[in-house]
Amino acid sequence: MNPIWVDEEGALVGHEPITVIDPGVGSDRYRSAHETLRASGRSVAFASFTFDTTEPGSHVVIPDVAGLEPSLPASPAPHGLRVVDDGVETWRTGFEKAMLEVEMGRVEKVVLARQVLVELPDGLTDNTIISRLATANPGCYLFSVDGLIGASPELLVSLRRGRVRTLALAGTATDPEELESVKISEEHRHVSRSVTSALSQHMTGIELTEQVIVPHGAMSHVGTRIEGPARPGTTVADILRDLHPTAAVAGSPTPSALDLIREIEPGSRGRYAGPVGWMSQDGDGVFAIALRCGQINGALMTLFAGGGLVAGSEQQAELEETELKLAPMLAALGHRAS
C-alpha cells in the first residue's frame, strides 16, 4: 500500500515508485534516514522507527511523489476477524513482575504493553483499515507505513517553519475527574519532565507549556502541550534523536525501564511505540508515537496496547485500560464487542 499520513493539515499520500530502506540502529538512525532522503532527490520520506533503538527493522519509505489529498474514501465494515491470542495471561504475568520491580525501587514507572494476535478477514486491505480509522478517530494522527497502521492521539514532535510543538500524553481514565488522582499525576510527571528536558536542547526558548485534557473515544488523557522556536539549523531528525523514547512509552528512569521491558514482554514491540510520521528535504517533519496500532504480517496482525505502571497501579484497572486502547483498531478490523 502507498504510505499515508493524516493530520490537521490533510492526508499526505506517497505514490510509486517507492524506495524502502532500514536506516539501521542507534541514535544516528534518524540522521541516516534524513541523509538518505536528501541523497534521493525526492521531497518527502515517510518513516516508522522501531521502539527499541538497538533493534533493526525501521522502515523509511521514500515515494516518487507525495501530495496532500482532501480526504480518504469511506470503507464498509469488514467481517470475519478472529482473535488468535488475546494476550491477557501473558500480560497478567508481566504485570506481576513489573509491579515487583516498582515496589523494589528498580523503576519509578514502567510501561507494559499487551500484544494481541488476530487473523484478518479475507480481502481486508490496508486502505479499508486506514479509512475506517479516519472516520472513527477524528483528531488523531493516522498512519500507514509499510504494514504498520494506526490512529495515534499523541504528537511526539512537529517541526514546521522553525517552530517546535509536542503534545505529551500520560494518564488515562474513562472519567475525566479520575485524571486528578495521585497515581495519574505521578505517571504524567515523569513524562512531562523527560519531554521538556529533551526538547529544550533544540529550542531557543519555551513559549508555551500547557496542561490539557485530551479526549479519545471512551478515554481521556492528561497532556502537556509545549511550543516554541527551534534553534537555527535544527532538523526533526535531531530532535527525534534526543526525544525518543519518552517516559510515556518506556518509563522512568528510562534506561532501567527499557531493560525491564526487554525482560518481561513476550516479544519485540517492533515499530509499536516508536516514532512514526514524515520528514522533508529541508529537515521539517511531523512524528507521532505509534500507538493504537497494529503490524500486519501476511494474514495475521499483531495489535498493541500499553499502560504506565507506578506504585499503586491495580491489575484489573490497568487491564481494562488496555481493552479501551485496543478498541479503535479492533473496530476498524470489524470486531464486534461482546
Q: pLDDT tens across 165-175, in order?
A: 999 887 777 77
Total number of domains constituting the chain: 1
Find residue 20's DSSP bridge partners.
Answer: 61
Widest pairwise Cα distance in the chain: 54
In contact, 224 and 167? CB cutoff 8 Å: yes
Would 337 be classed as within a structural domain?
no
Whether 40 is covered by a domain: the verdict is yes
The answer to whether position 85 is within a domain reads yes
Q: How much of the chain exceeds pLDDT 90, in percent? A: 72
d(CA 20, CA 165): 28
pLDDT of residue 55 exceeding 90: yes
Please give the model's pTM, rounded to 2 decimal places.
0.94
DSSP summary character for residue 242: H
Q: Note whether residue 161 is domain-resident.
A: yes
CATH assignment of the domain containing 67: 3.60.120.10
- Domain range for residue 191? 4-73+81-332
Tell me whether residue 141 is in a domain. Answer: yes
Write out pLDDT tens, residues 249-280. Answer: 999 999 999 999 999 999 999 999 999 999 99
157's CB contacts (< 8 A; 6+ apart) are 164, 165, 166, 199, 236, 239, 240, 243, 285, 286, 287
> Do the domain assignments include residue 294?
yes
Determine, yes or no, domain membership for 219: yes
Indicate whether 338 belongs to any domain. Answer: no
More confident residue, 109 or 188: 109
